[in-house]
Structure 1
Amino acid sequence: MPGTKLLTGEPGDLTTLVRAALPVVPGVNRLPGVRKGPASAFDGLAYAREAVGVERARVEAYAGVCGFPRKDVVPLTYPHLRAFPLHMAIMSDPAFPYPAIGMVHVENVITAHRAIGVGERLDVTTAVGEPRPHARGVLLDFVTTVSAAAGGDTAWESTSTYLRRGRTVDGDPAPGLEVLDPPTGGVRWRLPADLGRTYAAVSGDANPIHLYPLTARALGFRRQIAHGMWTLARSVAAIENRLPDAVTVEVAFKKPVFLPGTVSYAARQDDTGWTFAMTSPKDGSPHLLGRTTPA
């Protein structure tokens, strides 16, 4: 894999969105600096951010949107926000062969090794390797490591797996995450039409599929959908006070959650951890399935 590229400053949402959109604009996608390289030549890419601050105001805004209590340590899912600009930098890099628009987040695994305090400074690195085969295209694993700044301990890790539909690569597809006997029933949550815009404001993820009916329809959805990482965060928030500081959370994203809408959420504890599910109250079909284990 080539050397890690350093992303400096605080990436801007508008700049990120424009860079992500350019490779799908006819004509523009052939320009130098925008044109994507061949998938056959891609052997990996990595970006890093150094000494990223964990500001209380931003943490509390995120906690409020996702249902976490306000504490002196960050919510379990919060470090993903500090890695998200690296995901977008990789997807927008001409060396990355696939446009960011159209990448589908299908699985996520988070391992927290310890609690991260508000006010800490963190070094964040995200790397992606060669694509893996999938029945409908290819899978790309974005692996993030979050450490205390200046060479400190590793506090948090994650793997975000994205599906790119289309031509696959050689090899046998690996089975995806299976959550056996997920819980059913539970509580119902009514999600407002502006949830995608509210989450975008605190996360920096302003993908048009999450914002308005018009922008979502332009990308093939009948109306806007909730962010997958919001559904994960809200699911974890419901049980976070019963999880250890060192924990692994695995989720598979299934059907999209259309906004406005209502979802059911249920969680069950057993000897190895928690199993949880966000489902449709109409027919029980899953939006998200997950499980936790001690790390």
Structure 2
Amino acid sequence: MSPDVLVLTGPPSLPPLLARGALLSPLKRPGPDAEFPRTRLVLPGLRVDLARLAAYERVCGFPTGEDALPVTYPHVLGFPAAMRLMSGRDFPLPLLGLVHTSLSITRRRALTATGEYELAVHVEGLAPHRRGTQATVVTEMRTGDEVVWESRSTYLARHRTRHGADGPAGQEPVGQRPAGEGPLAEGPAGQERKPLPAVADWRLGGDIGRRYGAASGDRNPIHLHPLTARLFGFPRAIAHGMWTAARCLAAHGTPDQAVVRVEFRAPVPLPGTVTYAAEGGRFELRDGNDRLHLTGEVHPA
């Protein structure tokens, strides 16, 4: 059976969705066999606010003034619709503690900033994870009947499984925080490999979360101030996961036709210093002890 289609008249407002999701979180019973919303949300006739786009480009390090959308910007445009699905009563994973573990993007051609688009968002499904249950949310951007950009985001809700709550020994625990990215966490453990060559050290100010929140609309309290971050178990504010991904991709560069894969590994405390490293199509962000915050790959489509 095909999913229901709900046509939106405008982007949903994020603050009420975050509040609703937080209130409903204690009522959720996550599991890979749970029912999940089949609704496909569609937002037609979308045009980009050029002032907000310029602010996003500045805070993430993309070139400004060009008639082009950064490769990560459609995620920002589609995130309110994704949050509408994930904050709903019929979404089985609790929003509090949900973590963004990975992101994949396929861009089929360059996207203009002045174009008109149609966005569509749906939950593709649930899957078991060694630390709980994982949901995949798909966002598509179309011009006419052509899908020109597509992303898949995986979000993990930690809960006890038959393998235990913390997974196999030797793996670092997944960070927990409200979804809003939203959520940044340590992603699935990958193969151990030699650190990539360092390219630059980035000193991150304590205001990065506030600046990115103003540009993206994602004002999750754990990114804004140390005090609000402590309410959710973080000693300091942490950077948005999607800011770290965008900042790395701005430094790396992306072909017009590209496939991007990012795995979020550990939160980035603010303020702080991180090392951006890259070689060929791979890049990573790590701290002074070579602990990975993020890994990624870019390939021509």
Is the shorter-chain TM-score for this pair beyond 0.5, marking a shared fold?
yes
Specify the alignment match of 2:96 in structure 1.
101
User: Please, what TM-score do these two structures have when normalized by structure 1?
Assistant: 0.86
Structure 2 unmatched ranges of 5 or more: 164-187
* 2:9 aligned residue: 8
Gaps of 5+ in 1: 30-34
- Residue 268 in structure 1 maps to residue 279 in structure 2: yes
Would you say the 8 A contact 1:177–1:252 is kept in 2? Answer: no
Describe the superposition over 1:178-210 as per-residue Cα deviations: whole angstroms up to 9, x where unpaired. 585451322110111111111111111122221
Distance in 1 separating the partners of 2:195 and 2:9: 42
Query: Could you tell me which residue of structure 2 aligns to residue 56 of structure 1?
Result: 50
C-alpha change, 1:267 and 1:130, in structure 2 (3 Å) is same
Cα RMSD after superposing both structures = 2.3
The one of 231, 248, 256 aligned to 2:259: 248
Letter in 1 for 2:70: P
Residue in 2 aligned with 1:201? Answer: 214
Residue aligned with 2:198, SS: coil
Matched, 1:155 2:148: yes
Give the Cα separation in 2 of the matches to 1:89 and 1:180.
Answer: 38
1:74 is aligned to 2:69: yes
Letter in 2 for 1:288: L
Cα pair 1:112 1:156 within 8 Å, conserved? yes
The CA distance in 1 between the partners of 2:83 and 2:142, in whole Å, is 20
Residue pair 1:133, 1:169 contacting (<8 A) in 2 also: no
CA distance in 1, matches of 2:22, 2:283: 34
Q: CA deviation at 1:214?
A: 1.7
SS of equivalent residue, structure 2 residue 18: helix
1:278 alignment partner in structure 2: 285
Q: CA deviation at 1:18?
A: 1.9
Task: Give secondary structure in 2 for the equivalent of 1:58.
Answer: helix
Following superposition, the deviation at residue 61 of structure 1 comes to: 1.1
Do the aligned partners of 2:99 and 2:156 also contact (CA within 8 Å) in 1?
yes
Distance 1:144 1:177 in 2: 25
Which residues in structure 2 correspond to 1:24-39 (within 5 Å)? 24=25, 36=28
- Tell me: CA distance 1:42–1:129, structure 2 relative to 1, closer, same or farther (3 Å): farther
| 1:293 aligned partner | 299
Assess, with a 3 A threshold, how the Cα gap between structure 1 residues 110 and 178 changes in structure 2: closer, same or farther: farther
Mark the CA change 1:260 to 1:38 in structure 2 (over 3 Å): closer, same or farther.
closer
CA contact (8 A) 1:44 1:129 kept: no
Give how far 1:248 is off: 0.6
Whole-angstrom CA distance in 2 between matches of 1:288 and 1:38: 26
Q: Which residue of structure 2 lines up, in the alignment, with residue 32 of structure 1?
A: none
What are the Cα deviations for residues 225-257 of structure 1, in whole angstroms up to 9, with x where unaligned?
0011000000000022xx320001101111110
Q: Cα 1:131–1:292, aligned 2, differ >3 Å: closer, same or farther? A: same
**230-239 or 51-60, which deviates more:** 51-60
